[in-house]
Amino acid sequence: MGEFRGVFCCVTMRNHAPLGAALYPLHVPTKTMGKALLAADAAFRAFTNPRDATSVGVLGEVSGRRALQRIHSRMERHPVGRAVLHDRPQITSHTLDGICGLPPHTFGGAYAAFLKEHAFDPDERAPVRFVDDADLAYVMQRYRQVHDLWHTLFGLPPSYFGEVALKWLEAAQTGLPMCVAGAAAGGVRLPVAQQSIVTRHVLPWAARHAGSTVDLMSVYYEREWERPLEELREELRLEMPPPVVLEQAQHTRRRARPDPQ
C-alpha cells in the first residue's frame, strides 16, 4: 500500500461525522472526492499492470459499492447466505489445520492440495480498507477469500489464462466493476489465439452463470469441507469450463499471482 500513501493523505477523513470514525479494523474512511481520486489512481495503475493486486483491490473497493449492496441483499434473501452474513466466517491459514488431512476427493482436501501445490497462503489476501460500511466490507473480504475455493470448484489452475477465465466468471456472479476491468485488462494481454477462446468460449460460459439460480456467494463453504468435490459440484449445479478452456488454462500453468483482487 506504500505507493498509495500520497493519495491517502489527500483523501482520508479525520473527525468527520458520520463517516469519520473507523467502522472496522484497518478501515480508512474517505469522502466522495477522495474515492474518485483513489479510483483514478488505482485504475491507471491496474490498467498498466493487471497483476498489481494492490491497485486492483483498491479500485474494487472504491468502485464496487452498488455491486456489494446487491450481493449483500441477495445473500440476505438466501437462508445460507444469511447465515454466512450472520456468522462472518473467515478463511485464513488456521482453516488449513482442520482440512489438510482430508481425502483428496473431498472439497476441503482438494482445496488444501490446491494451496499446497501453488504455495498459496489464505492470509495473503489483502484486508479491506476503503468500503465505508462494515457489512459490505465483509462481503468484499468474503469475495476475496473464496476466490481460491472457486478455482478448486471449477478446476481452473492459477495460470494467467485461468485467472482471466475465472475473473469473467466472478464478474458474472458478483457484478463487481473491478472483475470486469481485471478480466478485460488481463485478456488483452493474452495471445490472439487465447483471446479468441475467451470470446468464443469463456464469455458465453461466464454469462450462463450470470443467469444461474445458484449464488456462489451464498454457499457456506466451511460446512462443505468433507463433502466429495463432485457431489458438491452437482448440488450447486455448476457448469464446468469448456474443455478447450481447461486445456488452455493447464497449458499455460505458470504462476499468475499476485491475483488481481
Q: What is the pLDDT of residue 50?
A: 65
- Check residue 15 and give its pLDDT: 33
The pLDDT of residue 187: 92
DSSP collapsed to 3 states, 134-174: HHHHHHHHHHHHCHHHHHHHHCCCCCHHHHHHHHHHHHHHH
Q: Which of 61, 241, 65 lies closest to 163, judged by CA?
A: 241
- Determine the pLDDT at residue 256: 53
Using alpha carbons, select from 93, 89, 163, 153 the residue that is nearest to residue 121.
93
User: In this predicted structure, what is the pLDDT of residue 215?
Assistant: 94
Structure pTM?
A: 0.85
Q: State which residues of the chain have pLDDT below 70.
A: 1-20, 46-47, 50-51, 253-261
CA angle 91–49–181, rounded 5-degree value: 70
- Cell numbers for 117, please give them: 501445490
- In this prediction, residue 207 carries a pLDDT of 95
The predicted pLDDT at position 5 comes to 43
- H-run or E-run covering 55: helix 53-63
